[in-house]
Structure 1
Amino acid sequence: MPTLASRTLDNGLDTGLERQGRIDLACAFRWAARLNLHEAIANHFSLALSADGRDFLINPYGRHFSQMRASDLLRLHTDDPEALNRPDAPDITAWALHGALHRNNPQARCILHVHSKYATVLACLADSRLPPIEQNSMRFFERVAIDEGFDGMGLGDEAERVSRLLGDKPILLMGNHGLLVAAPSVAQAFDDLYYFERACEVYLSALASGRPLRIASDEVARKTMQQWLDYPGFAERHFSALREMLLESEPNFAG
């Protein structure tokens, strides 16, 4: 969307790349609200701007996902001691968790953290593994890290601990807590969020039937996972469609 990316904010400081990142992240917030993937004002998304990940965008505390605009997003640095003293400061857990994640995982450009219904239910089970029962769940075969050491809200040492669990996985299922998705772009992160939540919904619905599950072999699951990874431009096309729909119905998100 070059016409949007070429605009600058009123302060004239944003590059086209940052501008497009703001638009995409605001779009992700709005669609998370539309799809009921959020939880009141408790969740948070971020997008790294610098190569080392320490300079990033994140949502301000208290603004509802359904009202988020590109210009609302805060540009912060992980080492800024005054980040929580500004009038539009981020949520304290968002600052701690995303700061640690971006500092320790520079490859994770976009990080989405939600307490979506079905992923959170899975995170509450003693066995939080997602078996390969259909092709959406197979997409995440061997690509989910599970945190089984919950020790309170993501502050201080807990934020640092969680930030080191991600590794090279796109999904961190946070036991007793919720879901965290990490990806190289907003489009990929949102696509993973959407499909992981769908996969959790199908799995839990299948469990509720009380009938035996048809679980694919590791070989088939691994093959299907790779086919997902090789699928040409899927996440980008999905997110582009969402952005176009939002531009028609809620164009103020890009402002």
Structure 2
Amino acid sequence: MSSKVKAQVSEQEWQTRVDLAACYRAVAMYGWDDLIFTHISARVPGPEHHFLINPYGMMFDEVTASSLVKVDLHGNKVMESEYDINPAGFTIHSAVHEARDNAKCVMHLHTTEGVALSVLEEGLQAYSQQSLFPLASLSYHAYEGVALNPDEKARLVRDLGDTQFMILRNHGLLTCADNIPDAFLFMFIFQRACEIQLKAQATGQKLIPIHSAILQGIRAQASEVTKQAGGSLAWPGIKRRVARRFPGFDE
């Protein structure tokens, strides 16, 4: 299967497939997966608006480069595959990809901590250094039920604006970036910020927020702050760790 798909696609697409499969397995490695639900999508290099997404029914630690399904913006398969995709899952992803040319990779997860924080009225707070990255480019989207309604796409895009981090109320977390390594690192920082906030709040003690002047300074430099997050620096090591834990993603 691997050699068959690899022979049909460009070298650039194959590399995107390998990185996206590694990303799925990294999510499983960190325990952020939700069985077969939630998705990570990536745009295929080239002029066509084609995207790669996970085959519906496959666990994240089973995803391989060759099993990823290539679809258009409407979720229609544009390359033969024995697998199908989750239409509800692609509703969110297609909306972001269509609206944002710089959203080459979109990650959406249902981590316990991410969903728990999405329920808090106050949302993410400036309680840690980790929180400053998402707070520099953060948006919220109200819960509208399972994402099957195409009309929701316009509202989600409006709420996302030009941000790279989004809290989907009562639902989970979303990050988007120009490449897979950055989208993953953004989610790592986002998830860690949620974990830290919930643990701190669980103590019941008075919390010390980061001074508002520091937060405003970070927000004023939002694009530079997120560009310097260093996804490309961390990514090779993440892939090595994934290869040790879940080998075979590049098949």
TM-score normalised by the chain length of structure 2: 0.88
Q: CA RMSD in A?
A: 2.4
Change (3 A) 1:66 1:234: same
Equivalent residue letter for 1:252 = G
2:83 to 88, 105, 117: 88
Q: 2:64 corresponds to which residue?
A: 69
Q: 2:50 corresponds to which residue?
A: 55
Change (3 A) 1:112 1:52: farther
Residue 126 of structure 2 is aligned to residue 165 of structure 1: no
Verify the 8 A CA contact 2:69 2:81 in the aligned structure 1: no
Unpaired runs of 5+ in structure 1? 1-7
Q: 1:154 corresponds to which residue?
A: 147
Unpaired runs of 5+ in structure 2? none
Q: 2:34 corresponds to which residue?
A: 39
Residue 191 of structure 2 is aligned to residue 197 of structure 1: yes
Secondary structure (helix, strand or coil) at the match of 1:179 reads strand
Which aligned segments of 4 or more residues in structure 1 are displaced greater than 6 angstroms?
Answer: none
Distance in 2 between the 1:93 and 1:230 partners? 30
Verify the 8 A CA contact 1:43 1:114 in the aligned structure 2: yes
Cα offset, 1:161, TM superposition: 2.6
Cα offset, 1:166, TM superposition: 1.4
Q: 1:238 corresponds to which residue?
A: 234
Seq. identity, %: 26
Residue 111 of structure 2 is aligned to residue 116 of structure 1: yes
Deviation readout 1:139-196 (Å, 9 max, x if unpaired): 2223110113x21111122244323321111111000111111111110000010111
Q: 1:217 corresponds to which residue?
A: 211
Q: 1:21 corresponds to which residue?
A: 16
Change (3 A) 1:160 1:54: farther
Distance in 2 between the 1:109 and 1:49 partners? 8
Verify the 8 A CA contact 2:70 2:77 in the aligned structure 1: no
Verify the 8 A CA contact 1:53 1:105 in the aligned structure 2: no
Cα offset, 1:223, TM superposition: 4.2
Aligned length: 244
Distance in 1 between the 2:199 and 2:65 partners? 36
Verify the 8 A CA contact 1:188 1:235 in the aligned structure 2: yes
Change (3 A) 1:51 1:86: closer
Q: 1:3 corresponds to which residue?
A: none
1:142 to 131, 136, 147: 136
Distance in 2 between the 1:98 and 1:230 partners? 22
